[in-house]
A = this chain, B = another copy of it.
């Protein structure tokens, strides 16, 4: 194709109608209604990237596809995340791994905690909660990128480290605390084996290669998962 110079009159055609419609009611709260909202663009890019990286992997996901799903121009990835790598890192950093613990504190705010100090005391309760959240993910949501990454052998060092960090924050503490005897010789190995069980079921279910697993009732699956966790963690 022959290179053309800039074209006048075409770009950025100032959708005043749409803008008037969308920005209508909330002028004082958010003067910048829909368009020209950097935070919104960043968040939409992050959400679209989280979906696509989980569905198609890093190499299989193009920035153009992410931008299209986000309804945003692909060049904004470079502006807000520095490039594909930065976007991927942001996705890993925001990955919940398992469904967040949603509790309301005294003021009614929603908080998401994996309480590291009290875990040992309430180990049994916490384990049951983790299992419930995992079963919840089996019901509703596909496996996240971090969960999948635990079983991916093609990660570079940075991605592997970020994955390990997220699993270490979100999953391992509870399982470590539930391993009996606490602090025993193999407690770390047993916690990681429990991770393989929980996340392995999650990921294999999303992958869909094992038909009975993909079709199984999540509650029934939870019963088996509980038995397996007890077997490896030594709870009874």
Contact = CB atoms under 8 A, between A and B. Distances in A.
Interface of A: 54-57, 59-60, 142-143, 148-155, 160, 163-164, 167, 186, 188-193, 195-197, 200-201, 203-204, 206-213, 216, 220-221, 224, 227-228, 230-232
A154 B210 contact: no
Contacts of A213: 189, 192-193, 196
Nearest to A225: B193
B54 A153 contact: yes
Nearest to A142: B153
Contact of A164 (B57, B191, B211, B227): B211
A197 B149 contact: no
Contacts of A192: 204, 210-213
Nearest to A195: B210
Copy number in this complex?
A: 2
Contacts of A151: 148, 151-152, 200, 203-204, 207
Contacts of A60: 59, 154
Contacts of A163: 209
A154 B210 CA distance: 15
Contacts of A57: 57, 59, 152-154
A190 B59 CA distance: 33
A7 to B, nearest CB: 31
A232 B229 CA distance: 11
Contacts of A59: 57, 59-60
Contact of A55 (B153, B188, B204): B153
A156 to B, nearest CB: 10
Nearest to A149: B209
A213 B194 CA distance: 11
Nearest to A53: B154
A58 to B, nearest CB: 8
Contacts of A201: 193, 196
Given A160-B207, A193-B201, 15 more contacts: A54-B153, A57-B59, A142-B153, A148-B151, A148-B152, A150-B207, A151-B151, A160-B209, A163-B209, A164-B211, A167-B209, A190-B224, A192-B211, A193-B213, A196-B204
